[in-house]
């Protein structure tokens, strides 16, 4: 008969011995701190000095002496998010805790309000209402990847800030639910009933460092409406707790008893209304007489079905000083929870309650559909500041160099990495961003070939200029139905321009690639290209050229008549070498000005200058090249392209 108490005592001693050393899987960040230290309860703290974002600040709160709360890290009140990335073990469960002590760190006395998220999932809104009160948020989750990101964003007032960030690993099946793949558990209440002081119970009494708030703590709407006859009871005997959520010994050694037959409480539940996980912890810690029984029922207003089962702690737990843990894994709860434990008619002793936990189901957001692809891209540049923003690329707010659409599970539509010192080949993962509309990778040191973007059918704008790209311009670019701008100038591309790109309604610049040739053009659309200098220079050149041609008499009208009866494709003035076999037509400046509506519509640009759209009186569409007067390269390209035609004024015409 003495074996069982001895075993219980031995188990209790083992727990005490294990609690002397910090559990593995503990991470404690002293945000804004400068050095490692161990606190008064044995937790080891590390400063968050590796975080490249935000600024550190100290606070001054008279009654707060704990070192981890003397500093904090704060972030700009902008549209970005700022994330901590923590390593975890996949398929393990964790408790994540973030705390916030304002302490008027900014000397503004403006109480901040901002959001905290876990990855893409919105977690909570932090509302500071007192400079010296610590706000605490806790989340229980199953890790499904090697890292997690805790992000602050969307400041409504003041600046986002954080005092501590803690990660505690559970073992076994603690807090297992059937819904853990889809939901997190947001901790709303964890209460130690019958506590002998207002101090919480935590590590080392709880080896997982859960914080069990005292029911003696006085705060607004916390455990009010206490029934008359409620008394605290306790024991020093060890309690067998090695099952399910394993509440700590110290918590189970205290309780409240309803000596008048009832225990009644009311409290506000953070995050509710909603569906939750609610568990009560019982252990019979009083020696009942031979003819005494303790039986009672839980009464929840509006949930009559939950009030039917009766609790007999000693019978349900199969003995005294043993844990009995009834609860509900999927229960709809209000924001203001009122509950009562009432003894049954055949019970001589009133109800007893040791502890309670209530968590809300927080639906996980799977985040952007492009999360895996963009994570692979970021991994190539992990040492760059822009690649360390963390969290989901789109949610709850996008990275600073990313734009996303508004779908519930968004896609990336724009990448802006201009001038970010990118090197190496363009990652092929960019081509996996199927919703991409704009890609800006210009002014870097990228090399190698241009990837096949065929899968990005929405691509409209591609900027790859001023890099060191090699190889041919992919003909697959012609398969992008929405492509409107393609800039690849000043690279080391070679080969022949795909003819389809030349015939598309496309703003195209490929200058500065000395080995990239313009191939023969085909098609039935008319293209008239006229080049000239800007401003008054255009008028002067046009006038001079007009006079030169008019001096030949009425030859112009004869040649125009030839033009009207020319074959389907005929070049008029391509080069000096062909001038003796082809006719020329002189445009006056007023004709150019009328056709372009005084150079109203810009349709492109290149090394030579700007291209304007125009339409002649006979309906022929033209593109007018205007040479930039201060561009030596432009003059050379213009001259080379038009083979030195008189006054750099020429016409190229394709006729239907």
List the binding residues for ATP: 625
List the one residue out of 96, 40, 87 whose CA is nearest residue 68: 40
Torsion of the alpha carbons at 175, 176, 178 and 184, rounded to the nearest 10:
50
3-state SS, 189-245, equals EEEECCCCCCCCECCCCCCCCCCEEECCCCCCCCCECCCCCEEEEECCCCCECCCCC
Integer Cα distance of 487 and 501 in angstroms: 12
Give the separation between CA 177 and CA 142, rounded to whole angstroms.
10
Rounded Cα gap, residues 138 and 187, in angstroms:
5
Binding residue numbers: 625
Contact residues for 10 (Cβ-Cβ < 8 A; gap 6+): none
Query: Residue 408, Cβ neighbours under 10 Å: how many?
Result: 7
Answer whether 438's CB lies under 8 Å from 415's CB. Answer: yes
Contact 532/625 with Cβ under 8 angstroms?
yes
Q: What is the spatial distance between Cα 572 and Cα 556, in angstroms, rounded to a whole number?
A: 13
Angle, alpha carbons 653-654-656 (nearest 5°): 135
Q: What are phi and psi of 113, to 5 degrees?
A: -145, 120
In order of 305, 538, 627, the CA distances from 630 in angstroms are: 86, 14, 9
Query: In this structure, are residues 41 and 203 in contact, taking their beta carbons and an 8 Å threshold?
Result: yes
How many helices (H) and strands (E) in the chain? Answer: 9, 40
Cβ pair 383, 369 in contact under 8 A: no
DSSP-derived letter for residue 645 is: -
Q: Which two tokens stand for residue 343?
A: 């003894």
Q: Which two tokens stand for residue 441?
A: 């990778």
589 and 539 in contact (C-beta within 8 Å)?
yes
Give the Cβ contact number of residue 443 at 10 Å: 18
Cis? peptide before 204, omega within 30° of 0: yes
H-run or E-run covering 378: helix 371-379
């Amino acid at each position: 008969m003495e074996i069982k108490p001895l075993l219980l005592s031995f188990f209790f001693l083992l727990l005490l011995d294990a609690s002397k050393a910090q559990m593995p899987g503990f991470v404690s960040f002293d945000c804004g701190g400068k050095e490692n230290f161990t606190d008064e309860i044995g937790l080891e703290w590390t400063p968050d000095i590796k975080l490249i974002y935000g600024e550190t600040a100290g606070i001054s709160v008279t009654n707060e002496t704990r070192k981890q709360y003397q500093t904090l890290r704060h972030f700009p009140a902008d549209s970005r998010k700022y994330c901590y990335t923590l390593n975890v073990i996949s398929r393990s469960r964790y408790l994540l805790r973030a705390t916030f002590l304002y302490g008027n760190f900014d000397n503004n006395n403006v109480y901040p309000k901002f959001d905290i998220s876990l990855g893409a999932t919105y977690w909570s809104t932090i509302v500071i209402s007192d400079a010296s009160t610590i706000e605490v948020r806790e989340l229980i989750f199953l890790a499904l990847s090697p890292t997690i990101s805790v992000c602050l964003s969307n400041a409504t007032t003041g600046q986002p800030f954080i005092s501590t960030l803690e990660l505690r690993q559970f073992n076994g099946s603690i807090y297992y639910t059937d819904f853990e793949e889809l939901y997190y558990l947001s901790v709303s209440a964890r209460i130690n009933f019958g506590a002998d002081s207002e101090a919480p119970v935590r590590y080392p009494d709880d080896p997982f460092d859960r914080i069990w708030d005292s029911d003696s703590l006085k705060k607004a709407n916390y455990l009010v409406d206490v029934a008359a006859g409620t008394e605290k009871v306790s024991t020093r005997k060890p309690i067998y707790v090695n099952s399910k959520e394993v509440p700590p010994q110290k918590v189970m050694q205290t309780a409240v008893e309803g000596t008048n037959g009832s225990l009644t409480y009311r409290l506000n539940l953070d995050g509710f209304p909603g569906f939750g996980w609610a568990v009560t912890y019982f252990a019979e810690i009083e020696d009942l007489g031979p003819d005494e029984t303790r039986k009672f029922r839980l009464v929840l207003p509006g949930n009559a079905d939950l009030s039917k089962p009766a609790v007999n702690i000693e019978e349900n737990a199969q003995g005294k000083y043993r844990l009995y843990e009834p609860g509900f894994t999927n229960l709809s709860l209000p924001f203001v929870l009122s509950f009562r434990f009432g003894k049954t008619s055949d019970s001589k002793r009133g109800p007893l309650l040791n502890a309670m936990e209530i968590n809300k189901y927080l639906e996980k957001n799977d985040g952007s559909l492009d999360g895996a692809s963009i994570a692979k891209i970021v991994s190539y540049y992990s040492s760059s500041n822009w690649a360390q923003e963390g969290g989901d690329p789109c949610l709850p707010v996008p990275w600073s160099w990313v734009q996303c659409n508004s779908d519930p599970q968004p896609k990336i539509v724009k990448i802006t990495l201009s001038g970010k010192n990118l090197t190496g080949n363009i990652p092929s993962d960019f081509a996996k961003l199927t919703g991409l509309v704009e890609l800006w990778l210009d002014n870097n040191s990228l090399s190698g070939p241009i990837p096949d973007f065929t899968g990005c059918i929405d691509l409209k704008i591609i900027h790859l200029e001023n890099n060191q790209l090699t190889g041919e311009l992919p003909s697959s670019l012609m398969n992008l139905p929405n492509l409107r701008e393609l800039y690849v100038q000043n690279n080391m591309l070679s080969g022949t321009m795909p003819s389809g790109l030349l015939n598309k309604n496309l703003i195209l610049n490929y200058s500065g690639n000395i080995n990239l040739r313009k191939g023969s053009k085909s098609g039935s659309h008319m293209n008239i290209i006229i080049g000239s200098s800007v401003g008054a220079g255009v008028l002067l050149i046009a006038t001079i050229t007009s006079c030169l041609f008019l001096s030949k008499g009425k030859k112009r009208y004869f040649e125009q008549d030839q033009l009207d009866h020319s074959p389907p494709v005929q070049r008029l003035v391509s080069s000096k070498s062909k001038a003796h076999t082809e006719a020329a037509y002189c445009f006056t400046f007023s004709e150019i000005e009328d056709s372009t509506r005084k150079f109203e519509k810009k349709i492109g640009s290149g090394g030579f200058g700007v291209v304007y759209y125009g339409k002649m009186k006979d309906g022929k569409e033209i593109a007018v090249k205007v040479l930039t007067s201060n561009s030596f390269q432009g003059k050379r390209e213009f001259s080379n392209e038009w083979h030195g035609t008189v006054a750099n004024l020429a016409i190229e015409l394709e006729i239907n």
